[in-house]
Structure 1
């Protein structure tokens, strides 16, 4: 598969088959991820793979908690929140055989001094985000589906994910990626904006 085809086919997959993902595929995803650019060459990312049933169930409940918090934050109705619950608990939305949590270690940095705290943090998050994209493109090549989960970063939830991963407060969760074989047909979504709407040449 050529890169342009993987980019074209990558889309958010929210429903997965009840089928295990081979360990070699999971390792291939991480290997692709760590080929991403990393600010100052720090490689201060950490990929925590949740595969055990107990860890996945706990993580799934935290995703559901985060999704409900998100729906409430954007002032959606109780009717829509109940529809979300049905999609998750009855239809299995976001339920995957593997979850990969991507953390950065804030204690590993290049520039000394508190005046660079924010900049170091931004660089680290950017590095992890590029790693996540590499991971997602590799997943397309392997016939796997992924989706980026950001709602686990709500206050009170991120801490629980970090605790489940057995990490200290120096670690920050950049994103959570469910991984599995897509259930049903995968249809890449068209972008609302055209190239001319998002590019400025100077």
Structure 2
């Protein structure tokens, strides 16, 4: 598969088949993820694969709870939030055979001193985000689907995800990735903004 084909066939997949992901494919995904650039060469990332059935059931519930909180904060009417609840629990949206939590260690730093703490945190988040993109593109090549979930990084949810993984508070969840074999047709969609609107040459 050519790189362009991989990039343009990556979409957010929200429905998955029940079959599990092979161990070898999981290792290939993480091996591709850690080839991403990493600020100051810190490699202060950790990829937690949540495969236990009970943990996955709770994570699926958590994804709904986090979305509901997010949409309430946005002002979405309760009837629309109820529709989302139906999609998630009755139709199985985001119900995946595996979830990948991508964490960074906030205490692993290159520059010492309080003045650099915020920028180093941002660099670490950027490094993890690039690793997530590598993982998602590799997933396309392997015939898998993924979806980036940001709302579970709200503090109470990430606290629970840390606890599930036995991690200390210094670990920050950058994103949660449901992953599996797609149960929906892959139809690449165009971006809303044209190239001319997002490119500025000076």
Q: Give the Å deviation of 1:187.
A: 1.1
Query: 1: distance between equivalents of 2:155 and 2:40?
Result: 29
Moved over 6 A (4+): none
Q: Give the Å deviation of 1:64.
A: 1.2
Query: 1: distance between equivalents of 2:184 and 2:59?
Result: 24
Indicate the residue corresponding to 1:54 in structure 2: 54
Structure 1 gap ranges (5+): none
Query: 2: distance between equivalents of 1:163 and 1:59?
Result: 12
Is 2:34 aligned against 1:8?
Answer: no
**Structural RMSD (CA):** 0.7
Q: Retained in 1: the 8 A contact 2:13–2:184? A: no
Write out aligned runs for 1:20-39 (5 A): 20-39=20-39
User: For 1:99-132, what per-residue CA distance to the aligned partner results, in whole angstroms no more than 9, with x for missing partners?
Assistant: 0000000111100001101010000000000000
Indicate the residue corresponding to 2:166 in structure 1: 166
Write out aligned runs for 1:1-202 (5 A): 1-202=1-202
- Give SS of 1:156's match: helix
User: For 1:119-166, what per-residue CA distance to the aligned partner results, in whole angstroms no more than 9, with x for missing partners?
Assistant: 100000000000000000000000000000001012311111111111
Aligned length: 202
Q: Give the Å deviation of 1:59.
A: 1.3
TM-score (norm 1): 0.98
TM-score (norm 2): 0.98
Q: Retained in 1: the 8 A contact 2:17–2:181? A: yes
Query: 2: distance between equivalents of 1:74 and 1:56?
Result: 27
- Give SS of 2:11's match: coil
- Give SS of 1:173's match: strand
Structure 2 gap ranges (5+): none
Query: 2: distance between equivalents of 1:184 and 1:49?
Result: 23
Query: 2: distance between equivalents of 1:14 and 1:178?
Result: 8
User: For 1:50-87, what per-residue CA distance to the aligned partner results, in whole angstroms no more than 9, with x for missing partners?
Assistant: 01101111211211110111111111111101101100
Q: Give the Å deviation of 1:184.
A: 2.1
- Give SS of 2:91's match: coil
Q: Retained in 1: the 8 A contact 2:56–2:98? A: yes
